[in-house]
Amino acid sequence: MENLTDKELNALVSLLDDEDREVINHVRDKIKSLGTEIIPFLEQKWEESFNPTVQKEIEELVHELQLSQMRSRLREWKESEKQDLLTGLWILNTYQYPDLEFDELNGEMHQIYFEVWTSFKNDLQPYDQVRIINNVLFNRLKFSANTKNFHAPGNSMLSNVLSTKKGNPISLCAIYLLVAQKLGIPVHGVNLPNLFVLIYLNEAQSFYINAFNKGLIFSKSDIFHYLEHLKIAPKDEFFEPCTSLDIIKRMFRNLIVAYERLGDVEKSEEVKSLLELLID
């Protein structure tokens, strides 16, 4: 951050109430050029101010700075070799909860992994591995489908799903997937139309898991029937593992739909601009 004294920063903020819009825009640009490190100072000024005009300008500035930081993180994540799923979920989560730290999410996910790991025994067969994960996630920890508020924005926020224990198909699958992969189990996401599921896939066998239905196990022929029911032609991608990037893009699309259903055009447009960063 450029080294401005508190006096200079205070003077800048006080100009947010100037009668000349051109002056305000110049001040806003100057403040934004200072980067996200200025946010705590702006939040303090918001609390101290009794001027609604200044407060509104500060709110917009803080949001724009946080959005800018999120864009940088998204670009960095997309260009990273690993494209770690939990990191992607955390970045998306910061749209609604900008102060959320990655370590907080990571700690909560590790706790769930530990619960499952302590129930595991050596040399379990694939179906038994899945049954144990199902039992811990859906019976002991009580994760379940958020059928009442299926399109709520919170379903795309991992921190929200972890605290409420309710989510949509893709957020519940993401939790399942993160736990399974940390256990070294070959579970991957599968992008189905209107539904997101998981596949257990090794050299010897494969089967599918529906985390939205308490980890129900089903087969490839069930997917054919599902597609037939929807009158959708089968494609390879409906049966095969997808990438972390695919998962994060789909979660952004869900978030866009959630805001559109709430009539929040501004947020849906913002999320669309974020999604564009992930599309080639």
pLDDT in tens, 3-61: 677 766 766 766 566 666 776 677 677 777 777 777 777 778 777 777 787 778 778 88
**245/88 Cα distance (integer angstroms):** 8
pLDDT of amino acid 11: 63
**216/131 Cα distance (integer angstroms):** 9
| Bridging pattern class, strands 206-210 and 216-218 | antiparallel
Length of the chain: 280
Give the residue ranges of the chain where pLDDT is below 70: 1-3, 7-8, 10-11, 13-20, 23-24, 27
| Token pair recorded at residue 114 | 């530990």
**185/257 Cα distance (integer angstroms):** 32
Cα 234 to the chain's mean position, in Å?
Answer: 28
| Token pair recorded at residue 134 | 């199902």
Q: How many CB atoms are closer than 10 A to CB 187? A: 24
| Token pair recorded at residue 99 | 């102060």
